Chains A and B, each alone.
Chain A
């Protein structure tokens, strides 16, 4: 049984269907199975990345029918890189959340583990599928799991955040369905490669309608400005590991979906500067909102929306250099933001209203966690020795190549805002004298390990960026040249045997 992209999907499915049965055998199994599955994901990513490096693309056909007739899974260098990143992060999040839950009985334990594992599988599915309706189905899997996890805690606001997310998600999936419908009437096929090939036959009026509907649909998942009302609430109400998965994994799948639609399917010139404008507005408003947040998780949520805005700007610039910088930013953001959410949830664990003020002087009692939080804060802001610095630098240089002075000014201004609100938290952590009676949640060894790994990764990429940049440059070139993607998927029915 040769390892192929479909393993990402059917192994978690077997586990998800089996967990209700296996939990009858032994109470602990629902906790352990997701770990095994997510570790197997890392193995698949390792094997597939080798192949993608040599061959450039991996296309796998489902049910034996060639690409446009049946559904095909496709791994390009960029999607392969993103999926490996998600697999590693998924495993670390599982390791972090192993014993994290408050008192939980077996019913909730089973549901939590199935939903968390399937959310990651859904995100991976969005990235590797080559068929537009299949993309919609995986998007729905992510939507339903994310809503159920947001409203997991018994508290009052969980259900409200979940309902808001589901309502906007329902509207978004209706818009995507409408876009697929109109696209099908014009093109007559559902396979992304064939759509890209036939896109030139579509009259421009209808083409822009389809593009707008897709942008609205995916904008909600990628948290563009007017459509991300749900994100801060969902992040702050979800359990620790889930909000980490939101920031590290689900948003990446949303951004990838948006980028794929704009880069591979459409060739409208206007789409690129739309991305820049949307990214700008999202970044500015999200960072401004983050400034006045008192709840730590909401602040981190706004900061990650701002970072995604920055990534969209970089993709919008559209040159090879800019796309490479955007990919590098996605990598850094995933690692750093996951570390911040992990450490943040532990620091916040016992405080009732989860405000930043309840962080006073905790550093003395949780030194290890506070150091990691500080590292994360410095890295995301872009201070030199850390990985965040390189990605911001490359974006600025890409903007400079295209003489977009206005962009450079705003990005720097926003970085200043970031510095303000992150350092405000770090200073409270270390220098303010805290109330000593707040009992603090001592994380177990597995949580410490996963956070340590992320911390080390920040340093390693910070000092040796060219470990990753070589691969990303090649991935950026392949993402931009559409012709080879279409030619590969449609003409070769190369299935892995």
Chain B
């Protein structure tokens, strides 16, 4: 009976959404029924290269035009890590042994990972250093580095990310992101403003503070995701 009720509900919602999206053209001209240069997207496309000196428009939007979003974004990840730690936290007396579950990873895996790990981390770092030129950036690069650490965490039982250093990197990265914001205020402009010169568009050193912010975000995301994975891998199943 419940299934029938739910399916009817879904059909109604589906119909509801369908006839709203019938009116929204796919692949038509740019959004908004006003001509494109008055919309926000039109402004971004025509001014990013000149004003912010960044080739990747999305990086300019994520870091500079909508910088507070990314700051909120990084806080969400930071709070998720803290929340996860507090939900799965075992007090000192409950902690039998915190070494990770001993997955018997095969020889192929271990040797493969030994080769892959530096390559993955290098790729991740490349992605978030070139965030302002090529697709990708702090978040994507950080995630790639985290997957690299994940491989190491799974295949080598002895491999332990040094908790102390991770906390240092995480806090320093977060503080420097907010510090860049405060620097904008201190230097008389607004919070998170791109105060330094923006250089030539497609050169590596271009876009002023934007690449620096994205590199800092990359470190923070990498360390946070590795932290989340480390906490989750440390839980011992009951069986």
Contact = CB atoms under 8 A, between A and B. Distances in A.
**Mutual binders A and B:** yes
Interface of A: 1, 4, 6, 9-10, 13-14, 16-18, 20-21, 24, 60-65, 68-71, 105, 107-108, 110-112, 114-115, 118, 125, 129, 131, 133-134, 137-138, 140-141, 144-145, 147-148, 151-152, 159, 162, 182, 184-191, 198, 201, 203, 205-206, 209, 495, 497
A495 B190 contact: yes
B167 A21 contact: yes
Which 5 A-B residue pairs are closest in the complex by CB-CB distance? A188-B32, A148-B83, A17-B174, A188-B39, A111-B86
12 contacts: A1-B185, A16-B75, A17-B78, A63-B191, A64-B189, A65-B64, A111-B89, A134-B69, A141-B72, A141-B79, A148-B84, A188-B32
Interface in B113-154: none
Given A10-B178, A71-B69, A206 B83 contact: no
B31 A184 contact: yes
Contacts of B199: none
B88 to A, nearest CB: 10
Interface stretch (B1-9, B16-24, B103-111): B16-24
Contact of A69 (B40, B71, B185): B40
A64 B83 CA distance: 33
A138 B72 contact: yes
B236 interface: no
A21 B175 CA distance: 11
B57 to A, nearest CB: 13
B87 A148 contact: yes
Nearest to B21: A182
Interface residues on B, range: 35 or more
Contacts of A21: 167-168, 171
Give the residue among B20, B67, B185 with the most A Cβ atoms within 10 A: B20
A118 B86 contact: no
Secondary structure of the A side of the interface? helix
B20 A188 contact: no
Contact of B72 (A4, A134, A198): A134
B98 to A, nearest CB: 12
Interface in B151-182: 167-168, 170-171, 174-175, 178, 181-182
B171 A18 contact: yes
Contacts of A151: 87
A209 B12 CA distance: 13
Contacts of A64: 184, 189-190, 193-194
A68 B87 contact: no
B3 to A, nearest CB: 19
Nearest to A111: B86
Nearest to B64: A63
A182 B24 contact: yes
Given A144-B80, A184-B31, A188-B41, A63 B190 contact: yes
A137 B64 contact: no
A65 B76 CA distance: 24
A20 B171 contact: yes
A385 to B, nearest CB: 43
A21 B169 CA distance: 10
Interface string B46-83: 00000000000000000011111101110110111011
Nearest to B43: A69
Given A17-B170, A141-B75, A188-B31, 19 more contacts: A6-B191, A13-B71, A17-B171, A18-B175, A21-B171, A62-B68, A63-B64, A63-B194, A105-B91, A111-B85, A134-B69, A137-B68, A141-B76, A148-B79, A162-B87, A188-B38, A198-B34, A205-B23, A497-B188
A20 B167 contact: yes
B34 A62 contact: no
A206 B69 contact: no
B192 interface: yes
Contact of B32 (A125, A137, A148, A189): A189
A108 B86 contact: yes
A198 B39 CA distance: 11
Contact of B85 (A17, A69, A107, A133): A107
A4 B191 CA distance: 10
A201 B35 CA distance: 13
Contacts of B31: 184-185, 188
Give the residue among A6, A131, A497 with the most B Cβ atoms within 10 A: A6
Contacts of A71: 66-69
Contacts of B69: 71, 133-134, 137
Contacts of A16: 75, 78, 174
Nearest to A66: B43
A118 B68 contact: no
Contacts of A186: 32-33
A165 to B, nearest CB: 12
A71 B61 CA distance: 11
Contact of B82 (A10, A133, A148): A148
B238 interface: no
Given A71-B69, A112-B86, A105 B190 contact: no
Nearest to A106: B92
A65 B69 CA distance: 14
A408 B69 CA distance: 44
B16 to A, nearest CB: 7
A60 B171 contact: no
Give the residue among A10, A110, A191 with the most B Cβ atoms within 10 A: A10
Contacts of B23: 203, 205-206
B132 to A, nearest CB: 15
A14 B184 contact: no
Given A62-B190, A111-B86, A141-B76, A10 B181 contact: yes
B10 interface: no
A16 B39 CA distance: 36
B186 interface: yes
B82 A70 contact: no
